[in-house]
Amino acid sequence: MRLILPVLATLFATPAAAQDAPRWSLAIHGGAGVIERDKLSPEQDKAIRAALNRALAAGSAVLDKGGSALDAVEAAIHVLEDDPHFNAGRGAVFTWDGHNELDAAIMDGRTRAAGAVAGVTATRHPVSLARAIMEKSDHVFLAGAGADAFSRAQKLEQADPSWFATPERRRQLETLKAKNLSAIDVDRKYGTVGAVARDVNGHVAAATSTGGITGKRWSRIGDAPVIGAGTYADDRACAVSATGAGEYFIREGVAHEICARIRFKGESAQAAADAVMAEVQALGGDGGVIVNTPAGITAWSYNTPGMYRGRVSAGGAPTVAIYRDEP
């Protein structure tokens, strides 16, 4: 049974002056779900926080040198895709047939150019494949064998299936099959990773990467690579990356809906995120979002017990959090 809690929303606390005109800002997530203190060992807690801090450091290093928001979100996602604690790249969950199928998307708020990929099996960093699709093809979305072929043609780094396959993810698949569980019952969380950035020129970008859900069949695709559902960026409004029950996020068009409320209704990032997550909850879905605006204001909203999350802005110290009782 999916656990639905009231929407929990937290505005990243930064000094008012910094919020007025930060030189740059970055927010990341590593998934949402039943993430509670008694569900993680002290070692897991420490390792996850360390990974989130490394991802923030990678993205902020780009931004602090005047780099683009697009480069920053890609750099942050690379770190999370390589860390087996997250359901993206290495550490991706298994399909019903025992394979790892990877999805990702990236979007540039300057031009609304976007790239997305689904069901790839050998690209070490699916987010970079999504970017290659955006920049080096006439398309937005590629999938399966064709996307794998495009990745090789672009000479992106490939990895053996053993790179993605971790013992813990295999155990989860075996448990799901043996006990006839749902994906959320065995994982207890949605492990998608995401990043949203605002650079020194006021441009925003978003990126999301995932392995999907444990035991997925029939080449199922969730919201993460769907532009407007799990990923969206528009300099006129904001950048959004989502994590959660993908079918509901697709039906709600979560990422675009948040941007539309900011652009057309003048809502704050927090108000827009809260309103859309409430609509997701009303449909029966759970998960969360991170948002970043051209003004550098970052926000998150989620309706699960926890969400792996972090943020940093120019001149400030990075902060990470896991549980809902953390500021």
Catalytic site positions: 192
Longest Cα–Cα distance of the chain, Å, equals 55
CA-closest candidate to residue 113, choices 75, 78, 68: 68
Which residues touch 154 (CB under 8 Å, ≥6 apart)? 129, 132, 136
Which residues touch 183 (CB under 8 Å, ≥6 apart)? 93, 176, 213, 214, 215, 216
Backbone φ and ψ of 320, nearest 5°: -130, 155
- Determine contact, residues 221/144, Cβ cutoff 8 Å: no
* Burial 50-82, CB ≥16 within 10 A → b, else e: ebbbebbebbbebbbeebbbbbbbbbbbbbbbb
State the Cα–Cα distance between residues 300 and 310, nearest whole angstrom: 10
> What tokens were used for 81?
């895709």
Mapped onto helix, strand or coil, the DSSP state of residue 204 is strand
CB atoms closer than 10 angstroms to residue 20: 11
State the Cα–Cα distance between residues 75 and 245, nearest whole angstrom: 25
State the Cα–Cα distance between residues 318 and 27, nearest whole angstrom: 10
Mapped onto helix, strand or coil, the DSSP state of residue 259 is helix
State the Cα–Cα distance between residues 204 and 194, nearest whole angstrom: 14
- Determine contact, residues 153/99, Cβ cutoff 8 Å: no
